[in-house]
Amino acid sequence: MSAPAVELKDLRKSFGKTEIIRGTNLMVAPGERVAIIGPNGAGKSTLFNLISGRFGPTSGEVRLNGERIDGLAPFEINRKGLSRSFQITNIFGRLSVFENLRCAVLWSLGYRYAFWKFLAGLKDANERAEQLVHMIKLDRKRDTLAMNLTYAEQRALEIGITIAGGASVVLLDEPTAGMSKSETARFIELIREVTVGKTLLTVEHDMGVVFGLADKIAVLVYGEVIAFDTPDKVRANARVQEAYLGSVLADAQAAEAGH
């Protein structure tokens, strides 16, 4: 009935002669929570970059709520209701936590490039930013410069900036990368809380996170989606086991051997 929140149609991307994304097809319904998994170098981050407009695709289509967005600039895509976070923390270092979040809500509230209004007088923006500070549990760090936060706090701020504009589709690129086990568990809870009712796409390595967050899993191998289904069915999928879980096992063994 309603258009899919995100739809990829035969999406391709080459860097030089190397084709990284090779005809990816994916259809994510509104409100669905999808985890994209795959071995290293499968093109997960590239896929996010194509959807969010960081790169333009070589061919194929990206649709957001039925509307084509491939080839648009990141800010144009963001204005249409898609927001993303980054694997490497990407925040405004010399601004406080509160100012980071206030910046991130301004466009969505229609303040655009205004230089004839005082920030202090923007009641809705201030309230929304204050609410976000609380949501990501950084109340105590409200006035701390972002560059002085701990790593876990910076990751939380990264998520805060991502959801600030109220985008209906949220892309999270390895939100828990580099976190300890206990931090990860708390963080998953936080992500669940702040993305209620949104369409969520995450790239994740941590299988615990994947099964904790996702309704559906898309398996990306060498630039192609080889499976897209519920976690249980993906686990049982022979092709996935062969192509992906095998390599995960290999990775795990290699990691153990390395210790």
| Residues 157-196 within binding reach of another protein (CB under 8 A) | 161, 164-165
Nearer to another protein, 1 or 115 (CB): 115
| Residues 44-63 within binding reach of another protein (CB under 8 A) | 52
Number of residues that bind another protein (CB under 8 A): 46
Query: What is the nearest approach in angstroms of another protein to the Cβ of residue 23?
Result: 26
Judged by CB under 8 A, the residue of 65, 78, 184, 199 near another protein is 78
For residue 148 the two structure tokens come to 């002085």
Binding mask 106-135 toward another protein (x if CB under 8 A, else -) reads: xxx--xxxxxxxxxxxx--xx---x-----
83 binds another protein (CB under 8 A): yes
84 binds another protein (CB under 8 A): yes
142 binds another protein (CB under 8 A): yes
Query: What is the nearest approach in angstroms of another protein to the Cβ of residue 123?
Result: 9
Query: What is the nearest approach in angstroms of another protein to the Cβ of residue 179?
Result: 20
Pairing mode of beta strands 199-203, 18-28: unpaired
Stretch that binds another protein, among 10-18, 77-85, 192-200, 226-234 (CB under 8 A): 77-85
* Sites of contact with another protein (CB under 8 A): 52, 73-75, 78-79, 83-84, 86, 90-95, 99-100, 102-104, 106-108, 111-122, 125-126, 130, 140-144, 161, 164-165
